Amino acid sequence: MSRTPSLPLLVAALGVAAGLTLAGCAPAAPGPVGTPGSSGDPALHPLGAGFLGSVTTPTPEATIDPEPGSWAGVEPPAGYEVVLITAGDDAATKTLAGGVTRWAGQRDVALTTLTATGDDEVQAQLLRAIDKAPDLIVGAGAGVVDVFSLITAQSLHQQFLVVGAELPEPTGNATSVVWNGASFRGTGISTDEDSVAASVTPARAADAVSAGVASVLHGLTGIVLHLG
């Protein structure tokens, strides 16, 4: 499959952009990054002190190194809806997708899973997910990165989370969770060391989705969480 999204799908993608037109559309600047508790929900469990380390408010596109477990206890509200997009049937992608599925099942989160093969199908499924307007769209692994990099910047009304890979220039609505060996940043950018299948374990996948969702719920978006 081509790594370049087809023109018909690209036109459709731009058509979903909130407040944007097809002509003269420039990439959106990173949005503001929140602070713990900025969701405005007084019932939301606070993040642990080690989640941001010594950083008070991370800058857009910043990478932070949260302490293990500093996201524990942060749970989505009742009725939370997630769409998961996966691309490929490799072991790493399956493990990441399994982590998201288990996380959702343990919390009665309404989860819809959309599968794809190649960039054209990823783009079609991503547009379908955006049209559903869930609370969060999650992308699993390296196979979604190239398309997510294009579309997330044109859909600023929607929150996105990528686990096991990261967007090279995330806007304020796109958050990523990575670790050594699971930090693919896009075709032509990443090296072989960024995608090591053995680094993607069920435990890492579980931590990635829990930490990522906790960050989104607290308004800490548009950043990269690096799990040590």
pLDDT at 61: 92
Strands in 224-226's sheet, in edge-to-edge order, are 63-64, 224-226, 174-178, 160-163, 136-140, 81-87, 110-116
What pTM did the predictor assign? Answer: 0.83
Distance CA 72, CA 80 (A): 18
Chain centroid to Cα 90, Å, comes to 19
pLDDT at 41: 67
Rounded Cα–Cα distance for residues 221 and 170 (Å):
9
Length of the chain in residues, anyone?
A: 228
pLDDT number for residue 17: 40
**pLDDT value, residue 42:** 62
Given this model, what pLDDT does residue 56 score? 82
Q: With H, G, I as helix, E, B as strand and everything else as coil, classify residue 139.
A: strand
Buried b (16+ CB within 10 A) or exposed e, 87-113: bbeeebbbbbbebbbebbeeeebebeb
Closest of 186, 103, 106, 104 to residue 141, by C-alpha: 186
> Which residue type sits at 127?
L
pLDDT score of 40? 45
DSSP type of residue 174: E
Print burial letters for 152-176: b (CB count within 10 Å at least 16), e (below 16). Answer: bbbbbebbbbbbbbbbeebbbbbbb
Instruction: Kindly list the averaged pLDDT for each block of 10 residues, start to end, along the chain of length 228.
Output: 44 40 39 44 86 87 95 96 96 97 97 97 98 98 96 97 96 97 95 94 98 97 96
